[in-house]
Structure 1
Amino acid sequence: MTAALTLYTNPMSRGRITRWMLEETGVPYDVRVLDYGTTMKAPEYLAINPMGKVPALRHGDLVVTEAAAICAYLADAFPAAGLAPALADPARGTYYRWLFFAAGPLEAAVSNKALGVDVPPERRALVGYGCMADVLDTLEGAIAGKDYLLGATFSAADVYVGAQVSWGLQFGTIEARPAFAAYAERLEARPACRRASAADDALMPPSA
Structure 2
Amino acid sequence: MPTLYHAPQSRSTSMLVLIEEMGIAEHIDVIDVSVARQDGSGGPDPRNPHPEGKVPYLTDGEDHVRERGAIVAYLTDRFPEAGLGRPVGHPQRGAFLSWLFYYQGVMEPVLVLDWAKIDHPALHATFRDLDAVFARLAHALDSQPYLLGEDYSAVDLLLSSPFQWIPNAMPEQPTLRAWIRRCADRPALKAVMARKREALPV
TM-score (norm 2): 0.86
Q: Which runs of 5+ in 2 are unaligned?
A: none
Number of corresponding residues: 196
Q: Are 1:17 and 2:14 counterparts? A: yes
1:8 corresponding residue in structure 2 = 5
Shift of 1:204: 4.5
Shift of 1:134: 1.3
- The answer to whether the 8 A contact 1:12-1:204 is kept is no
Deviations 1:95-119 (A, max 9, x none): 1121221112111110001111122
What does 1:91-102 align with in structure 2 at a 5 Å threshold?
Answer: 91-102=92-103
The two structures, once aligned, show a CA RMSD in angstroms of: 2.2
Query: Runs of at least 4 residues of structure 1 off by over 6 A?
Result: none
Shift of 1:61: 3.6
Counterpart CA distance in 2 for 1:50 and 1:114 is 26
Deviations 1:68-89 (A, max 9, x none): 1111111000011011223222
Counterpart CA distance in 1 for 2:170 and 2:158 is 15
Say if 1:199 and 1:58 are closer, same or farther in 2 by CA, change over 3 A: farther
2:190 corresponding residue in structure 1 = 194
Counterpart CA distance in 2 for 1:56 and 1:188 is 24
Secondary structure (helix, strand or coil) at the match of 2:169 reads: coil
Say if 1:94 and 1:49 are closer, same or farther in 2 by CA, change over 3 A: same
* Structure showing greater relative contact order (alpha-carbon pairs closer than 8 Å, 6 or more residues apart): 1
Say if 1:185 and 1:36 are closer, same or farther in 2 by CA, change over 3 A: same
Shift of 1:182: 0.8
